[in-house]
Amino acid sequence: MKCFFSFGLLCCVVVLGLFAGGCQTKSGRLINGAKAPELLMYDEQGNLFSSYNVTATKQIILLDFWASWCKPCRKNNPELVEIYRKYKDADFGSAKGFTIISVSLDTDKAAWQNAIKQDQLTWQYHLCDLKGFGSPAPVVFQFETIPTTYLIDERGIIIGKDITLKWLDYELNRRLKNTAKTNTPNKAG
């Protein structure tokens, strides 16, 4: 009964999120400058997680949709780990630090958790509802393939979608407040 109630509550919240007017443009597309919709999903411990709680911490967030079976996703992970380590405690002025919310589209919990360990994904937020592409996340965030990413600023505004890791590094370095910016290749290069 408790499981049914929790599932029903989650479905209601997701449906309400789909119809929230402020998070999308009139065309219904999530684009740069639009407010990111709330992501509600369960974490590794089975607790309901809201992305708005992370947005409230005033960090820059990379929302990373992936899966353990996705070869391009797994290939990106070592570089993503390095970028996370480089900027997690950075001072971006109005944003204090950088974090990643990893949202897995796995259907096998053991495979998902093993991939987190194997790839050394040390950030705090790992989410998965074990529904694969049957999850509400691809609908809410309007994607059909992975990897898919959204870069979200400290105000909860989308500032990048499906960005390369090179561009992510460039953008985070560009936003650093202090003058101790790292040597990052030119965005075009």
Residue 10: its pLDDT value, please? 43
pLDDT of residue 188: 44
What pLDDT is attached to residue 178? 66
Q: Give me the pLDDT at residue 177, please.
A: 84
What distance in Å separates the CA atoms of residue 66 and residue 150, rounded to the nearest whole number?
12
d(CA 128, CA 44): 7
- Cα–Cα distance, 162 to 64 (Å, whole number): 9
Q: What is the pLDDT of residue 16?
A: 34
In this predicted structure, what is the pLDDT of residue 55? 84
Residue 89 to residue 80: CA distance in whole angstroms: 15
Q: What is the pTM of this model?
A: 0.79
Which tokens go with 179? 């003058």
Low-confidence ranges of the chain (pLDDT < 50): 1-27, 179, 186-189
69: left (phi over 0), alpha (psi -120 to 50) or beta: alpha
Nearest to 74 by CA among 117, 27, 115: 115
* Strand residue runs (E) in 72-171: 98-104, 125-127, 148-152, 158-161
Q: Which domains does the chain have, with CATH numbers?
A: 2-175 (3.40.30.10)
pLDDT of residue 182: 56
Within 13 A of 150's CA, how many CA atoms are on the CB side? Answer: 27
What does the pLDDT read at residue 29?
75
Q: How far apart are CA 39 and CA 48, in angstroms?
A: 10
How many Cβ atoms are within 10 Å of 45's Cβ, its own excluded?
Answer: 7
State the pLDDT at residue 25: 33
